[in-house]
Amino acid sequence: MKRVTFQHVDSTNEAAKRLMRSHPGERLLVAAHEQRAGKGRLGRSWLSPRGGVWMTIVQPTGSGEDGRDGAARGPALTETVSLLAGLAVYRGIAAVCFGSGSEAFEAGLRIKWPNDVWLDGRKVAGVLCERTAAGCGCGCGCEKGERAGSGACHEAVLVGIGVNADFDDAELTRSGESMRATPTTLRSALDRRVDVLELEGSIAEAFVSLADGGGLEDDGSLVETVRSEIEGRLALLGERAWFGVGERREHGVVVGLDGGGRLILECEGGERAVGAGEVDRVRGASGSGVAVEGATNEDEGRASRAMMENAK
């Protein structure tokens, strides 16, 4: 995987889009010491000072010359690749900062669906995936996602990853920006320095291992072992949460994850699989893990079994 590092960029996703034109069809790792216009999900800004891991992996989807129809499963593939990236971030942080996944879990490291990683309930990392293409220049509209294009079009998912690593969390509050989730940094949370290059390499290695090692089925869904691993590391598992898009909210108990990467909640009318939107803890609800008001015995058992897998 070719690696390109900048001192500073607007965002690594935007830099990756520019580099794709001269490296069509290649997997790339684009990193920066600082982002000046970092972005998160739903257009939110992402503060990116020196000392963080700011990187984008260009992951080709296989459309175009090799004959696979990446466009047909593009949106669904983007969602599951995002979850693979979240697991890669979890594994990378666990390896560099804790020594193992089980120790990281005990310390409160969790994957917050759909695109964050939390440490002890505070956000330390996020993932932003975008589907894009290095166009063929024929005017077919592939760069705008309007069609798959000809054999010269090279589609990819841009896997943007940001980790608040080796800087003090005072930098986050000093920005004056409004932040929806309470963030922290690995250095502040662990009270020690973090090797940024080692962490970047560990995350990239974990992602490539998942992407090349059969993390996804041919239809873009998660393979069962990966789905189970992500489910067992979910924040809010077994807890009562709200979910919704915009101002509309509903409530339910988080009970798992399906193969398509959708979060499963037990609601008053039965199970709901949530594929998009916001999910967060209901303030004041039980945080004890499994025994939550509104959950059935079956729900509690399912959540408990997923949690127990992490102790292995």
Task: Please state the domain extents for the chain.
Answer: 2-229, 236-309
Q: Residue 76: what pLDDT?
A: 72
Task: Answer yes or no: are the C-beta atoms of 199 and 193 closer than 8 Å.
Answer: no
Q: How far apart are CA 148 and CA 141, in angstroms?
A: 8
Which regions of the chain are under pLDDT 50? 42, 63-73, 137-141, 145-151, 176-178, 286-312
Which element (helix H / strand E) includes 6?
Answer: strand 2-9
Q: How far apart are CA 35 and CA 6, in angstroms?
A: 9
Q: What share of the chain is helix, strand, coil (3-state, %, to 5)?
A: 30, 30, 40
* Residue 245 token pair: 């898009």
Q: How far apart are CA 307 and CA 226, in angstroms?
A: 15
C-alpha count within 13 angstroms, C-beta hemisphere, residue 93: 34
Task: Answer yes or no: are the C-beta atoms of 93 and 186 closer than 8 Å.
Answer: yes
Q: How far apart are the first and last CA of the chain?
A: 32
Strand 248-257 with 240-245, pairing: antiparallel
Average pLDDT, the chain: 81
Strand 116-119 with 109-112, pairing: antiparallel
Q: In the CATH scheme, what is the code of domain 2-229? A: 3.30.930.10
Q: How far apart are CA 201 and CA 96, in angstroms?
A: 10
Q: Residue 304: what pLDDT?
A: 42
Q: Residue 75: what pLDDT?
A: 61
Q: How far apart are CA 87 and CA 230, in angstroms?
A: 6
Q: Residue 12: what pLDDT?
A: 94
At the second CATH level, the architecture of 236-309 is Roll (2.30)
Is there a common fold for 2-229 and 236-309? no
Q: Residue 165: what pLDDT?
A: 97
Residue type, 180: R
Task: Answer yes or no: are the C-beta atoms of 80 and 129 closer than 8 Å.
Answer: no
Using alpha carbons, select from 42, 40, 13, 38 the residue that is nearest to residue 276.
Answer: 42
Q: How far apart are CA 23 and CA 282, in angstroms?
A: 45
Q: Is the peptide bond before 75 cis (omega within 30 degrees of 0)?
A: no
Q: Residue 181: what pLDDT?
A: 64
